[in-house]
A = this chain, B = another copy of it.
Amino acid sequence: MTEQETESDDDFEEEYADLGATTQEAMDIAETSMDIVRQFVPDETLADRFRQKSVHSMGDIEFQHLLRFTGTDEAGEPDDEAPIRAGANAVLRESTIVTDITMSKAGVTGRGHNCEKRKAIGNGAELAKKTGMTRTAASVLELDKQSVYDDAIAVIGNAPTAAFALADCIENGTRPAVIVATPVGFVKAVESRERIREVAEEYDVPAITNVGRRGGSGLAAALTNELIHVAKDVRTGELDLDLGVDIEVDQ
């Protein structure tokens, strides 16, 4: 199983299940699957966990080379772990997870965190109608007006125009806790992720993105789920990250 399933809010209090696996067969498959992935992807850094998840989600070993991590350490030097720390921190602070479309939202697990999950699409219909802009771009601008993106985990799995809209919002002062942006396709997808990386650097908003035309909601959900996974490992004491916040470690 690659994409995860959330069935109801009842799951919110349940523990994170890697790759959404909760039955014996599913856990065996998930374990075998990640064992195979780790034969081909390094397993040394936190960023490697995201490279592994991207490979698993895309069913393609080569995808490990296509992820990009934007962010800096305390000395202001580029640091692959910066968006991971920021994302895990945001999960532990129960920031809102805002996706662009329904598919991305459906792929983000409800287990192992208490973040609210929202989608942008469905908002801003009037703006889209009036301006002719895409529904997803209008929905991002509309939610931004309501300050939804400030301190949020902003996930853009599908729509390049939503990514461009989010970049504009950041230029105008909005500060998501972290961005996961992986729009797919032949028109503006590549450019939309370049634009996200530019504003991410300029305004110090950590981001996980990819290069190339590929991507999609499944990938965005997988990367977001790995942020939740890292947060769970911090919460349970399996992982010690200097997140700069007090984490009450489960015993």
Contact = CB atoms under 8 A, between A and B. Distances in A.
How many copies of the chain does the oligomer comprise? 2
A7 B105 CA distance: 13
A212 B59 contact: yes
A235 interface: no
A25 B188 CA distance: 12
Chain A: number of interface residues, binned into ranges: 35 or more
B135 A33 contact: no
A242 B250 CA distance: 64
B185 A2 contact: yes
Interface in A90-125: 101-103, 105-107, 121-122
A213 B133 CA distance: 36
Given A24-B132, A59-B213, A218 B103 contact: yes
Contacts of A54: none
B59 A26 contact: no
Contacts of A68: none
Contacts of A217: 3, 103, 107, 217-218
Given A23-B135, A102-B106, 17 more contacts: A1-B161, A3-B103, A5-B101, A5-B102, A5-B136, A24-B132, A29-B161, A36-B186, A36-B187, A56-B186, A57-B184, A59-B189, A59-B213, A60-B214, A103-B217, A106-B106, A107-B217
Interface of A: 1-3, 5-7, 21-26, 29, 32-33, 36-37, 56-60, 101-103, 105-107, 121-122, 128-129, 132-138, 157-161, 183-189, 212-218, 221
